[in-house]
Amino acid sequence: MKKWAMVVDVAKCENCNNCFLSCKDEHVGNEFPGYAAAQPIHGHRWIDIYRTERGQVPMVEPAAMPAMCNQCDNAPCIKAAKDSAVYKRPDGIVIIDPDKAQGQRELVESCPYGSIWWNEEKQLPQKWIFDAHLLDKGWKEPRCVQVCPTGALQSIKVEDSQLSNLVEEEQLEVLSPEHGTGPRVFYKNLHLFTKCFVGGSVAAEIGDYEECVEGASVALLKDQRVLSSDKTDHFGNFKFDMLEPDSGKYQVKVERTGFSAQQVEVELVESVYVGTIRLEAGVEA
C-alpha cells in the first residue's frame, strides 16, 4: 500500500512563511470533524520555520527549515493516547481524533519534536494533519506543498520499498533520528542546520596591491592527515563543509606556485571564517 511522506529541501527554503500561512488559512476558524478542530488564531505553529545562520562576515550562510508533525511510523503520541485518540491511517498519516483526545494534555509532552500544541479553549491537543481532509477529497498534495514557491516541499505517496530506495539514493535524513520514532518527513541538505564549515580567503601582495589569489590549493588537515582539499575561487575564497560541530583542532594549509605556503590552526566549535590568509610572493611553495 502506498503511503504519504514529505521531502523537505532545506537548501531551497527561502523563509517566505507561505507554508506556515497556508496552514493557518486552512485551519484557523475552520472545523474539520473527524480530522481536526479549528486552530486558535494565536500561539499554534503546526508548520513552523526554524532559522539559523552559519559563519561570520563576510562568509555568512542563513538557512531556514520548515518542521511539522513527522507522521511517525513508531509514534510515541499514539502509544501515549488513551482510548485510541491518536491513530495512524493506512496511508501513513497520523490523526489526533478531535473528540476522543479532549482533555488529554499529556499528549503535548509525548511528542519529542514538540509538534503537538495545546488548545486551551477547546482543551485539546492539536497538530498538522498532512491535510488529510483535503487528500481524502481528491487533492493531490497538501496546501503547504501547493503554495511553496521554490519547490522546497515535496509530498509523495509511495510504497515502503520505494521510500527506502529514495532515502538511500538521495541521502535523505530525518530530524533527531535518536528519538527512534520513524519519521515520514525527510530532509535534504540538513547539513545547513546540523554541520559546520571552515572557510576563508587567500590574498597576496602583487605589485602595489593586495589581490585575491585564485586557484591556490587549500587542504584541510586533522592530526596532520588531509581530510579534504579545495581550490580558491575567483575571489580567493575556499570552504570545507559537512564538518561536525565541536570537533576539535584542524589545520588549513594553503599552497600556490610562486608563493610561500601558509598554515593556520582552527579550533572548530561552530562554522568559522578564518579570515584572509596572506601569501608571500616570490617564495616557491
Contact between 80 and ligand SF4 by CB under 6 A: the answer reads: no
Stretch that binds ligand SF4, among 150-158, 160-168, 200-208, 233-241 (CB under 6 A): 150-158
Q: What's the min distance (Å) between Cβ of 10 and ligand SF4?
A: 9
In Å, how far are 92, 176, 284 from 278, measured between CA atoms? 56, 41, 14
Q: What's the min distance (Å) between Cβ of 189 and ligand SF4?
A: 12
Q: What's the min distance (Å) between Cβ of 33 and ligand SF4?
A: 20
The angle formed by the CA atoms of residues 229, 233 and 239, to the nearest 5 degrees, is: 45
In the block, residue with C-alpha cell 499514539: 78
User: Hey, is 132 helix, strand or coil?
Assistant: helix
Report the distance separating Cα 50 and Cα 233, nearest Å.
31
Q: What is the DSSP letter of 76?
A: H
Q: What's the min distance (Å) between Cβ of 182 and ligand SF4?
A: 8
In Å, how far are 133, 225, 227, 279 from 201, measured between CA atoms? 52, 22, 19, 11
Contact between 261 and ligand SF4 by CB under 6 A: the answer reads: no
Contact between 152 and ligand SF4 by CB under 6 A: the answer reads: yes
Per DSSP bridges, beta strands 272-279 and 196-206 are: parallel
Q: Which of 6, 153, 213, 266 is the binder for ligand SF4 (CB under 6 A)? A: 153
Nearer to ligand SF4, 117 or 197 (CB): 117
Which cell goes with 38? 479549528
- Could you give phi then psi for residue 52, rounded to 5 degrees? -150, 170
Contact between 17 and ligand SF4 by CB under 6 A: the answer reads: yes
Answer whether 76's CB lies under 8 Å from 181's CB: yes
Q: Which of 2, 15, 118, 233 is the binder for ligand SF4 (CB under 6 A)? A: 15
Nearer to ligand SF4, 147 or 285 (CB): 147
Q: What is the DSSP letter of 259?
A: B
Nearer to ligand SF4, 47 or 59 (CB): 47
Letters for 48-67 (x = contact with ligand SF4 by CB under 6 A, - = none) are -x--------------x-x-
Report the distance separating Cα 25 and Cα 283, nearest Å.
65
Q: Which of residues 165-184 bind ligand SF4 (CB under 6 A)?
A: 181
Contacts with ligand SF4 by CB under 6 A lie at 13-19, 49, 64, 66, 69-72, 75-77, 94, 111, 113, 115-116, 127, 147-148, 150, 152-153, 181
